[in-house]
Structure 1
Amino acid sequence: MTTTAILAIDQGTTNSKAVLVSTAGEILSRGSSPVGIEHPQPGWVEQSPVRLWVSVQEAIDRCIQAIPDVEIIGIAISNQRESVTIWDAQTGEPLGPVVSWQCRRTAATCSALIAAGHAPRVQTLTGLPIDPMFPGPKMKWLLDRAPAGHNVKLGTIDAWLIHCFTGGAVHACDAANAARSQLYDLNGQVWSDELCTLFGVPKSALPEVRDSAAHFGVTSNVPGLKDGIPIAAAIGDSHAALFGHGAFNPGDGKATFGTGSSIMTTLPGFIAPQQGITTTIAWSIAGKPTYAFEGNILVSAASLPWMVDMLGLPDVQALTELAATAAPGGPGFVPAFVGLGAPYWHSDARALFSGMTFNTTRAQMARSVTDSIAFQVHDVFKAMASQSQTPMGRLYVDGGPSQNIFLMQCVADVLDRSIIQCDAPEASALGAAYLAGLSLGVWSDLAAISALPRNSNTITPRSSDVMDRLHVWQDAIYRSTVSVPSSMSE
């Protein structure tokens, strides 16, 4: 018997994933493929747009091979956000790399814009601070280095994938991805002439903005897929995870753990952020945006394999097991390998251990690294709670590292609140699939999506030494962000 399903793509920083989701909301099969990351200079992070698209095709092939008797009724896209690329409008040939959300190559440009006094106006229009993470300055960097004589298109990763899926027929992105570009007026819900002029990006090169649940064209000449399958949803991965959890009530939120982390909480309406966090469009349905607070942590679980190598351990599981044995005390660790994001927004901060002595053990070093994941979430969540007009509600956790019970217990302990751990780590793919199901009429409304089965585990706080560890963390953050020599920040 042929099964009908939605094919959801989750294009992430290190891997592309494909998930087949049944019309009952169940995951039928999975496939993945690595992408690859390059660091051509210190602080620069980029990827190949061609390799990125190939990895998506490989993930799709592996996913479909696992369940060949399936009819795909629609495609949904969730994607790494704030990463951008450039291509020829006629041929589709890439004209530059994918400049990653982690990349700091536009730090000098951002510093100049801040020094010129543009930051308050930009934050008022976009809900975002001026920072190298966001695409506006990166788009200008790509434009300045594109070969002459080309009519160019610019886009976030959803726009690039839509271009690839449709054989170049559609140049579009969704409102959630546009909201992270720093070129989009959140209240007016349009590309801003003022911002495009400020950042030096022509509106003509930008994609059309559509709802997150919308028609983005149909497949054309995609290996392994028949032509004519509708692309029925597109959304940034963090937004998709929030939607996938059913966090539809103001105050409900989620923390996604991966290379970095994103903490989001749903808002009752647009609220201009005051300090440390951003306001964004969580998703847009039928022309109506839902807003959210967000805090972006640049390096989260990416510090774990780094520490595994430093300590000569076999894998991350061994690292967390070692961390669990640590005696009280020990150093602080700040994973500012590419600066610090929310709530500090300090691009010149550097990674460090602080407070080490001859008595410091390998277990304590491991614990300081695992603690850094939880303490960054704590600092973002605290900033959100202080600026929210509604009480903080349910908090879900997702992403591969969320399946590690030791790491998630650390998060619950530090936040001093229960968190909801979901059995399926593919929250982003599920959220995108649910949006596609809305677009295709599989599910009638948000209530129908809320009623879909979800397996979860509630983790309650239990540690008693959090305050001592928090003081060590706060001291380490201070040392990471003060008196950075100018030679280190270049």
Structure 2
Amino acid sequence: MRAILAIDQGTTNSKAVLVSEKGEVLARGAAPVGISYPKPGWVEQDPSRLYASVCEAIDACLNSAADVTVEAIAISNQRESVTAWDAETGESLGPVLSWQCRRTAPDCERLIAEGRLERVQALTGLPLDPMFPGSKFRWLLDRAPKGRPIRLGTIDSWLIHCLTGGRLHACDASNAARSQLFDLQAQTWSADLGEIFGVDISLLPKVMDSSADFGTTLGLPGIPDGTPIRAAIGDSHAALFGHGAFKPGDGKVTFGTGSSVMTTLPSFIAPRNGITTTVAWRIGGKPTFAFEGNILVSAASLPWMAGILGLPDVASLVDLAATAEANGPGFVPAFVGLGAPYWNSDARALFSQINFSTTRAQMARSVTDSIAFQVHDVIRAMRAQSGGELGALYVDGGPSQNRFLMQCVSNLIEHAVIQCEAPEASALGAAYLAGLSLGLWRDLEVIAALPRSTQTIAPEAADRATLLNTWNDALSRSTLALTPAKGE
């Protein structure tokens, strides 16, 4: 059977998925990546371990597959994480600086103080926040060994380097669009942005379409040399594509460590209201744009709270939360500040309105509800700017399989959500792009028509005003400036 091998390289795990010509998942494999926190607010990964986890996931996937011929490889990857390596030897010259890493917050604050924010947003559609890579690239350059031929790159470009035996330094337009060095409208690296962040843009990868020829494999265990790599795309963008959300207004929410809310646009719209504009994908040289809201901490708060309450796992936490009425305390998961639509690096995680009658179930409910509240605020900001109707809204990622959590989201946004049984939306999107390049699928209409197992969750009546009042009160307390006590 002919199939596409899709690599889905994420924050905590690397996955490999074999996808048939019918769009069916034939086999899966996964391996942990590992993540470290060397200082408060610092989050990084080992580039070599990251690639090794990809190889392990591929091996596990192939070992669980029947007789399959791999026609091509596709890549979806964690975005806004970047690294540096030696252009000649491939040796890592620094860690992977994770999208969660806040180490360059002072650099972003300095650039804002210098009046650079408006220009950066106008060119990139992104705010000046340490989540985005511009300042991270500079940090890597400052600490790289002098005199070495340096390559800088997003995770897709690092994987392409490894998969091709170092023969190609390239990334796709969706990943470039999240780098903070890419001019969205010109669709090129920007010398102006390079000057702002202090980065030589000649060190960056070649920007290609999301569905394109990214070279061929060399030395990848289990895969014949010369196997073509035909797609690369950021994981959130890949999920949007995988759902077939091709009409303007269609969107998706990916739930994971953080969350990404994305809706397709008819054309480029400059961002405001705390959301970003990005390249969803680029095919045939033509970019499709999207609004996006990046939530820094989403489902990552669930295992934390499960541990605090002495529960064995996240499922037990959600079951406990479901027994409580949604009228308890408020909780803001600002463990690393707040992302969209607030963009407040100084915000702090907290519970509010706790009293002696507060129960464990109410505490659990306030944590699960915080996931839905953040999605609500992003979608509200998108609706305010787009002027159009919200179309089909898909949900994916592990937490999206929980009916209770998704019902809370649907109730708050007053819009149906479409629950997808297949958890591999990002891998499927990358595979569809590779198949498009190979001619396995003729066009987007054919891809949209591929069978998908879905369930629609319609909104139910809820006291939204009371719930939002509690949330907004907690939010205001979370973002208060900390004033030193007298005499300090």
Common fold: TM-score over 0.5: yes
CA 1:339/1:9 → structure 2, altered by over 3 Å: closer, same or farther?
same
> 2:69 aligned with 1:71, yes or no?
yes
The answer as to whether partners of 1:349 and 1:484 remain within 8 angstroms in 2 is no
Of the candidates 458, 479, 482, which is equivalent to residue 477 of structure 2? 479
Which position in structure 2 is the counterpart of 1:154?
A: 152
Match for residue 304 of structure 2 among 303, 306, 315: 306
Query: Structure 1: how far apart are the matches of 2:402 and 2:238?
Result: 21
The one-letter amino acid of 1:11's match is: Q
Q: 1:274 to 1:328 in 2, by over 3 A?
A: closer
SS in 2 for 1:120: helix
Look up the SS of the partner of 1:290 in the other structure. Answer: strand
Matched, 1:295 2:282: no
CA distance in 2 between counterparts of 1:414 and 1:312 reads: 29
In 1, Cα distance between the equivalents of 2:168 and 2:462?
55
2:421 is aligned to 423
Question: Where does residue 242 of structure 2 map in the other structure?
Answer: 244
Partner amino acid for 1:401?
P
User: 2:399 touches 2:405 (CA, 8 Å); kept in 1?
Assistant: yes
With the length of structure 1 as denominator, give the TM-score of the two structures. 0.98
Kindly state the Cα deviation for residue 329 of structure 1 after the two structures are TM-superposed.
Answer: 2.4
What is the alpha-carbon distance in structure 1 between the residues aligned to residue 437 and residue 452 of structure 2?
A: 21
Q: What amino acid maps onto 2:270 in structure 1?
A: A
1:344-423 paired onto structure 2 within 5 Å: 344-423=342-421
Tell me which residue corresponds to 2:328.
330
Q: Secondary structure at the match of 1:320?
A: helix
Which of residues 240, 251, 254 is equivalent to 1:253?
A: 251
Cα displacement (A) at 1:274: 1.7
Look up the match of 1:272.
270
Amino acid at match of 2:109: S
Give runs of aligned pairs for residues 225-236 of structure 1, distance below 5 A: 225-236=223-234
Q: Which residue of 2 aligns with 1:138?
A: 136
CA gap 1:336/1:328 in 2 versus in 1, 3 angstroms: closer
Counting matched residue pairs gives 485
Match of 1:282 in 2: 280
For residues 231-256 of structure 1, give each alpha carbon's deviation from its aligned partner in whole angstroms, at most 9, with x where no partner exists.
Answer: 00000000000000001000000000
User: Percent of aligned positions with the same letter in both sequences?
Assistant: 69
Partner amino acid for 1:290? T
| Cα distance in 2 between the residues matched to 1:53 and 1:266 | 31
* Amino acid corresponding to residue 48 of structure 1 in structure 2: D
The residue that corresponds to 1:222 in the other structure is 220
How far off its partner does 1:68 sit?
4.3
1:485 CA displacement: 4.9
How far 1:204 moved relative to its partner?
1.5
Structure 1 distance, partners of 2:416, 2:138, is 43
Letter in 2 for 1:380: V
Shift of 1:390: 2.3
**Letter matched to residue 257 of structure 1:** F
Q: CA RMSD in A?
A: 1.0
In structure 1, how many angstroms separate the alpha carbons of the residues matched to 2:484 and 2:8?
39
SS in 1 for 2:405: helix
Once the two structures are TM-superposed, the CA of residue 465 in structure 1 deviates from its matched residue by 2.6
- Write out the 4+ residue segments of structure 1 that deviate beyond 6 Å after TM superposition: none
Instruction: Write the mapping of 1:42-57 to structure 2, written as runs, cut at 5 A.
Output: 42-57=40-55
Q: CA deviation at 1:486?
A: 7.8
2:8–2:427 contact (8 Å) kept in structure 1: yes
Matched, 1:35 2:33: yes
* Aligned residue type for 1:121: R
Q: Is the 8 A contact 2:85 2:93 kept in 1?
A: yes
Equivalent position amino acid for 1:443 in 2: W
Uncovered stretches (5+) of structure 2, i.e. residues with no partner: none
Return the alpha-carbon distance in structure 2 between the equivalents of residues 406 and 306 of structure 1.
Answer: 19
- Give the counterpart letter for 1:436 in structure 2: A
Q: Distance in 2 between matches of 1:306 and 1:147?
A: 38
Aligned with residue 186 of structure 2, among 166, 185, 188: 188
Judge conservation of contact 2:418–2:455 (CA < 8 Å) in 1.
Answer: yes
Tell me if the contact between 2:17 and 2:28 (Cα under 8 Å) persists in the aligned partners: yes
Matches within 5 A, 1:465-476: 465-476=463-474
Structure 1: runs of 5+ lacking an equivalent: none
